[in-house]
Structure 1
Amino acid sequence: MKDLGSEFSKYIIKTLKANGFEAYYVGGYVRDLILKRPSSDIDLASSASPLEVKKIFKNIKIYDHGICYGSLTLKKNSETIELTSFRKDLAYKDMRRPSSVILSTKLEDDLARRDFTINAMALDLNGNLFDPYLGREDLKNKIIRAVGNPYERIEEDLLRILRAVRFSAKYDFKIEKTLADAIIKNRWNLQKLSSERIFSEIYKMILADKPSRAFALMKDLKILEVILKDIYLMVDFDQKNPHHDKDLFSHSLAVLDQVPPIDYLRFAALFHDTGKISSQSFKDGIAHYYGHEELSAICLEKNLKSLKAPKKLIQNSKILIENHMTLPHLMKDAGLRRQIRRLGKDLVLALYELLLADRKSSSEGRGFDDILEKRDRVEELMKEKTLNSKKFLKINGRDLIELGFKPGKIFSLILKDMENIVLHNPDLNDKNLLIKIIKEKYMKKLFGTDGIRGVAGDDLTPELAYKLGRALGKILGKENKKILIGKDTRLSGDMLESSLASGLMSMGFNPVLLGICPTPCVAYLVRKTKAAAGIVISASHNPYEYNGIKIFSSSGFKLSDEDEVQIENLILQGIEEKMTGAQIGTCTDGKYLIKDYSDYLKSIVAHDISNLKIGLDFGNGALYKIGEDILKDLGAKVYPLNDKPSGLNINDKCGSTNPNLIKELVLKENLDCGFAFDGDADRIIAIDEKGDTVDGDHLLAIFAKHLKEENKLKNSGLVGTIMTNIGLDKFVDSMELKLLKSKVGDRYVLEDMLKNDYVLGGEQSGHIIFLENNTTGDGMASGLYLLNIMSKTKQKLSDLNKLMTSYPQALVNAKVKKEHMTKVLEDEEIKTAIEKLEKDLKGEGRLVIRPSGTEPLIRVMVEGQDQKNLENLANNLKDLIENRAAKF
């Protein structure tokens, strides 16, 4: 025979013969050579043992991973050749492999152990054929015949069942009847084979020139029902639809033959309609298969996972099946661009091959020009620069951070939206244009760091509250209809409450009105009562003319940025949905629920506080109704202050933002301590018996030490803010704890607590979060924790206050309109003044400037050594900011 073997193979045979050993071409290489088919793999067999081969070819790279079966792989440059010693198999015990092999010096022994006659031939270097089982004759007659007894050959290695099918399909040969009978008899034993070995054979079948032959043959040999039952179920399944003239199995095989030999495309073609069996429905006698693509994808995944197929193959095949009901004729360029970006170039082209084959394999008369037209258009669009870059969008996460967004789900929401916009119109893929779109669409205009806040009746109108109620109802699930509403003592609370409740009821929800109660009460009760959400109408520490609306989810946490953006868009766009009749919600009184919150607060105190005299400045706010009774029930002697709200006097020169009155009361009445709360009682400022302030930083120090001593300070850390006094840093270091500093705002403190699995966090303003008890700051709870520590340790508050030493700070507020804040902070004159101030501090202090999240103010904090000097520096910068702002 001409062109026998490669030069490397000839060298191996000649070298072995020169050393006194026989060597031959064997197996598939000989078979394909006789059939005049190309063959890339060359297998050799020799009378030399593996050790003798290694000795002879000591200068050649040899891999011996198959040495236990007498096989070695020899490599030269990029060519590899498998050389196996003549061998005889011992008994097969598990129908998969011989228990062991013994080496032989006879070619006859080696050929006798092979599976089929067409694979049991050998050629020497001169082209002489050794064919003891007449394999050449079977090649001529196109027959797959076993070597020796077919039953014995199959029972030796069950994989020969699938190999017989594969060779029969590959060469379009018939399987000899006795061998076919042996296959049918042993088909159920295929379950004894490993999934990997079965998949390997199926994989080779499906990539053949005409893969349908193999699957049709497996049907005839009753193999499908054993290894691919979902494919077997398609046999003879009448589709009963005028678009299909073939049964489901025949149609699927026709599609399989027509798609190119790409593994994931071929598997998608085989399984693409398996879901029709369980999705069949009828209308006017015609069968329909709605949603069968999803069921087919699930079926493919189940089958290929059980066969241990590669994950990437499964994933790609699933994507094609899930998208094979695409209607390309309805898609315009924007839709095609999205399709390309979503699937990727390779998969989208494969999808059109599947669509084309599916259409061609349906009833005659259905054209496919629409598919060809869209495929051509897809190929044209692929040349666009927009679609030729993985990161084609001209903005990214860093740009969103600079715009003030926090990393999270909203990033993917915005970037996906911008991607769709650009795919619709590539000319918009400009950074400045996209930022403008984002600002218009996603920059929150209503929600600040703590809900919606503004001047009641002006910024915050009844109309807005009504729309907010409707928008909230729209985004919440339909199952849970209960929403709690609480409020502080502001005059505008009733107005906003009724509007909110009306909006919610118009969307079918049932508001439960708690009346006047602290913000943490709502956060606590929303979880306790398993409500869908909780709403607080309050502007916290702000003056009475302001009001606000903050929303807690069913988990007790404030709404996410994504939810707030969605609500804003619904408010701005309007909601067409209407409820009528019995769909409309109802409103109920829920004031009785507040007792549960009071009971929870009282449970905090585990030690006797009956000997303590305590002053309480309620700031004419939300806590006035229950705060005094809680402490009296615990046995303390209470001295209330600012507990007669008028609707206009909340936070008016009192409460946590102005603790002078509580200081005077503590000193005058010789009290053990005093507590001052803000309007919604989520903050507390304490006063010790000497009249000294115990702010949020000092409270954090006290609580951190106590929790550490009780082994309750999780992960030995706590969270403060950028405004936290440096004295707390030094205290934390001395305690060998960790202090993280978030942006100002309880939501940011909470985010960092959750991220780091901390249980304690807070702000200098007295907003303290004990995460194991509540999801927001709680002024009364913090006060009770403090009293419990005082009672347990028998220490005065002044002693506890000494745990940390505060550095002097000067805090001032510059009045700046919200729309001017960015310009002010970017003003060159102000930047220069900031640089000079920082130099004046000489590294012994720090400056923090930040816009308020709730008021038209820029807050300036200067920290250092000398209080008077700090106040001068802070006021000078404040004056400059206000003067410059007036010019914008």
Structure 2
Amino acid sequence: MTRIFGTDGVRGLANGHLTAELALDLSVAAARVLADRGEFAGHRPRAVVGRDTRISGQFLEHAVVAGLASAGVDVLRLRVLPTPAVAYMTQALGADLGVVISASHNPMPDNGIKFLARGGLKLDDTVEKEIEQHLDEEWVRPLGGDVGRVTPYATPVEEYVAHLVGTLTKPLAGLKVVLDCAHGAAYQAGPLALAEAGAEVIAIGVEPDGLNINDGYGSTHLDNLREAVVAHGADAGFAVDGDADRCLAVDAGGAVVDGDQILAILALGMASSGRLARDTVVATVMSNLGFVRAMKDAGLGVRQTKVGDRYVLEAMRVSGYTLGGEQSGHVIMSEFATTGDGLLTALHVLERMAETGQSLASLASVVTRFPQVLVNVPGVDKTRADDDPLLAAAVAEEEAGLGDAGRVLLRPSGTEALVRVMVEASTQEQAQGVADRLANVVRERLALS
């Protein structure tokens, strides 16, 4: 069977790859797998279901709810809610299963389905494989009173906002903030959370029409946020993506503050209060060398993982770390959340500004970013990228030339038929030159026969 689950649930063109039929079948299979594993022993199973603002989320939500209820699962409909909020409500309500219908930062025509286990945790790969194996199988359907009940849940936004604000120890009074919600799932919760925390909020990207999610707004399109911050004389700006599990920032002058800088700000703050477990932060191999050096200079360790928030989460759980994240702004604070949470991230960066009295630019300046160049090389056999001796020799030669003032990361893409060449160096020109030379070697050595 072709693998249906990707690195973050099932995702694809809504009503193309991701149909109502598939959504229903996946939900039935998920309920059956969890029942077979004894997850529902001794009680009626209960699930929560939330979605982002995509128009396709409406029919997919109904398909998911129908599948779960037909399998005997009681369903609480959370309606439009950020991914981390669905994870929180799964845990807070003691649900056996959470379902998020969202394609995150992808364009509007896409959508996705992500299942969460009890406690708001992502499903293990083994469970996802079992769900795939149960698709299209014959099964004994519950009848009569054994089918599931479907109930709208009245106050998910308010409860999630109360949770977010409750994680703070200092009010944000006196701070003026622009928040860009990408016309996505955070359009209600985001402005409300910042206002409840005491900040003056200018909200943009809060007029979803089902078609405009991530369109020119959000963490992948920062121009509108930068303009708004400067125009309103705001202290800072934050942009989340369509499902609000990631966050990037803009300082008062309109300069972008990326995920590495945000992670550094939070790491230093948590370390100063004794909340950074083992004085270590988890990041991926794509984190800028400037971030790694800043942490080392501060006496903090950096545990680096493969690219992907699931690998960051895995390292955090195994070793008990309390902070991790990616350059994209996917930041995980395990004290308060089981997944990346863009609104939680924004609130705690603002709290750090309030605590220290420093500007966002000043706090972010702890990281001096190395120029970074990423070249994607398509049309090659990525399976040989780790085994070609001449390619390895070329990488070693370029690394020797960079010394301590740069690095090379060459890796096959996990989702596309290409090899990624990432280079950091003292200057943009040097990084570009090394990346271009290595990309040519990749083309020569890994060319498809």
TM-score by length of 2: 0.90
Counterpart residue identity of residue 450, structure 1: D
How do residues 133-148 of structure 1 correspond to structure 2 at under 5 angstroms? none
Residue number in structure 2 paired with 1:520: 84
Q: Match for 1:604 among 144, 149, 167?
A: 167
Determine if the alignment matches structure 1 residue 594 to structure 2 residue 181. Answer: no
Residue number in structure 1 paired with 2:20: 462
Assess if the C-alpha contact under 8 Å between 1:471 and 1:575 holds in 2.
no
Residue number in structure 1 paired with 2:48: 484
Q: Match for 2:282 among 706, 716, 719?
A: 719
Assess if the C-alpha contact under 8 Å between 1:505 and 1:586 holds in 2.
yes
When residues 719 and 806 of structure 1 are mapped into structure 2, their CA distance, relative to the original with a 3 A threshold, is same
Counterpart residue identity of residue 790, structure 1: M
When residues 827 and 529 of structure 1 are mapped into structure 2, their CA distance, relative to the original with a 3 A threshold, is closer
Q: Secondary structure at the match of 1:656?
A: coil
How do residues 199-278 of structure 1 correspond to structure 2 at under 5 angstroms? none
Determine if the alignment matches structure 1 residue 504 to structure 2 residue 62. Answer: no
Determine if the alignment matches structure 1 residue 745 to structure 2 residue 308. Answer: yes
Counterpart residue identity of residue 843, structure 1: L
Q: Per residue, is there more strand in 1 or in 2? A: 2
Worse-matched range after superposition: 871-880 or 574-583 = 871-880
Residue number in structure 2 paired with 1:57: none
When residues 456 and 805 of structure 1 are mapped into structure 2, their CA distance, relative to the original with a 3 A threshold, is same
Question: What is the deviation of 1:881?
Answer: 7.2
User: Distance in 2 between the 1:882 and 1:520 partners?
Assistant: 41
When residues 886 and 481 of structure 1 are mapped into structure 2, their CA distance, relative to the original with a 3 A threshold, is farther
Question: What is the deviation of 1:575?
Answer: 3.7
Q: Match for 1:627 among 184, 190, 194?
A: 190
Determine if the alignment matches structure 1 residue 580 to structure 2 residue 151. Answer: no
Assess if the C-alpha contact under 8 Å between 1:656 and 1:676 holds in 2.
yes
User: Distance in 1 between the 2:446 and 2:13 partners?
Assistant: 21
Q: Secondary structure at the match of 2:174?
A: coil
User: Distance in 1 between the 2:420 and 2:140 partners?
Assistant: 43
Q: Match for 1:544 among 72, 84, 108?
A: 108
Percent identity reads 39
Counterpart residue identity of residue 867, structure 1: Q
User: Distance in 2 between the 1:624 and 1:712 partners?
Assistant: 30
User: Distance in 2 between the 1:637 and 1:806 partners?
Assistant: 30
User: Distance in 2 between the 1:852 and 1:544 partners?
Assistant: 24
1:538-597 deviation line (CA, Å, top 9, x unaligned): 1112222222111111121101122111111112x5242212222221222125222111
Q: Match for 2:422 among 841, 853, 861?
A: 861
Counterpart residue identity of residue 344, structure 2: A
1:478-498 deviation line (CA, Å, top 9, x unaligned): 324211111112222112211
User: Distance in 1 between the 2:295 and 2:146 partners?
Assistant: 56
1:164-206 deviation line (CA, Å, top 9, x unaligned): xxxxxxxxxxxxxxxxxxxxxxxxxxxxxxxxxxxxxxxxxxx
Question: What is the deviation of 1:853?
Answer: 4.9
Residue number in structure 1 paired with 2:8: 450
Counterpart residue identity of residue 709, structure 1: S
Determine if the alignment matches structure 1 residue 553 to structure 2 residue 111. Answer: no
Please list every run of 5 or more consecutive structure 2 residues that lacks an aligned counterpart in the other structure: none
When residues 586 and 610 of structure 1 are mapped into structure 2, their CA distance, relative to the original with a 3 A threshold, is same
Aligned residues: 440
When residues 828 and 687 of structure 1 are mapped into structure 2, their CA distance, relative to the original with a 3 A threshold, is closer
Q: Secondary structure at the match of 1:624?
A: coil
1:674-695 deviation line (CA, Å, top 9, x unaligned): 1011111110001111222221
User: Distance in 1 between the 2:226 and 2:214 partners?
Assistant: 16
User: Distance in 1 between the 2:114 and 2:189 partners?
Assistant: 22
Counterpart residue identity of residue 84, structure 2: P
When residues 760 and 828 of structure 1 are mapped into structure 2, their CA distance, relative to the original with a 3 A threshold, is closer
Q: Match for 1:493 among 57, 60, 77?
A: 57
Residue number in structure 1 paired with 2:127: 563
Residue number in structure 2 paired with 1:756: 319
Higher relative contact order (CA 8 A, sep 6+): 2
Question: What is the deviation of 1:598?
Answer: 0.7
Residue number in structure 2 paired with 1:204: none
Assess if the C-alpha contact under 8 Å between 2:46 and 2:75 holds in 1.
yes
User: Distance in 2 between the 1:870 and 1:843 partners?
Assistant: 9
Question: What is the deviation of 1:624?
Answer: 1.0
Assess if the C-alpha contact under 8 Å between 2:87 and 2:116 holds in 1.
yes
Residue number in structure 1 paired with 2:409: 848
How do residues 334-353 of structure 1 correspond to structure 2 at under 5 angstroms? none
Assess if the C-alpha contact under 8 Å between 1:615 and 1:638 holds in 2.
yes
Residue number in structure 1 paired with 2:382: 824
Q: Secondary structure at the match of 1:675?
A: strand
RMSD, aligned α-carbons: 2.7
When residues 804 and 689 of structure 1 are mapped into structure 2, their CA distance, relative to the original with a 3 A threshold, is same
When residues 626 and 878 of structure 1 are mapped into structure 2, their CA distance, relative to the original with a 3 A threshold, is farther
Counterpart residue identity of residue 649, structure 1: N
Question: What is the deviation of 1:720?
Answer: 0.6
Assess if the C-alpha contact under 8 Å between 1:543 and 1:651 holds in 2.
yes
Q: Secondary structure at the match of 2:142?
A: coil
Residue number in structure 2 paired with 1:785: 348
1:102-121 deviation line (CA, Å, top 9, x unaligned): xxxxxxxxxxxxxxxxxxxx
User: Distance in 1 between the 2:134 and 2:444 partners?
Assistant: 38
Q: Per residue, is there more helix in 1 or in 2? A: 1
How do residues 67-106 of structure 1 correspond to structure 2 at under 5 angstroms? none
User: Distance in 2 between the 1:786 and 1:745 partners?
Assistant: 22
1:17-53 deviation line (CA, Å, top 9, x unaligned): xxxxxxxxxxxxxxxxxxxxxxxxxxxxxxxxxxxxx
How do residues 111-126 of structure 1 correspond to structure 2 at under 5 angstroms? none
When residues 880 and 451 of structure 1 are mapped into structure 2, their CA distance, relative to the original with a 3 A threshold, is farther
Assess if the C-alpha contact under 8 Å between 1:480 and 1:532 holds in 2.
no
Q: Secondary structure at the match of 1:728?
A: helix
Assess if the C-alpha contact under 8 Å between 2:252 and 2:360 holds in 1.
yes
TM-score by length of 1: 0.47
How do residues 671-690 of structure 1 correspond to structure 2 at under 5 angstroms? 671-690=234-253
Assess if the C-alpha contact under 8 Å between 2:385 and 2:411 holds in 1.
no
How do residues 32-431 of structure 1 correspond to structure 2 at under 5 angstroms? none
User: Distance in 1 between the 2:332 and 2:376 partners?
Assistant: 25
Question: What is the deviation of 1:886?
Answer: 9.9
Q: Secondary structure at the match of 2:345?
A: helix
When residues 480 and 487 of structure 1 are mapped into structure 2, their CA distance, relative to the original with a 3 A threshold, is same
Q: Match for 1:617 among 180, 185, 190?
A: 180
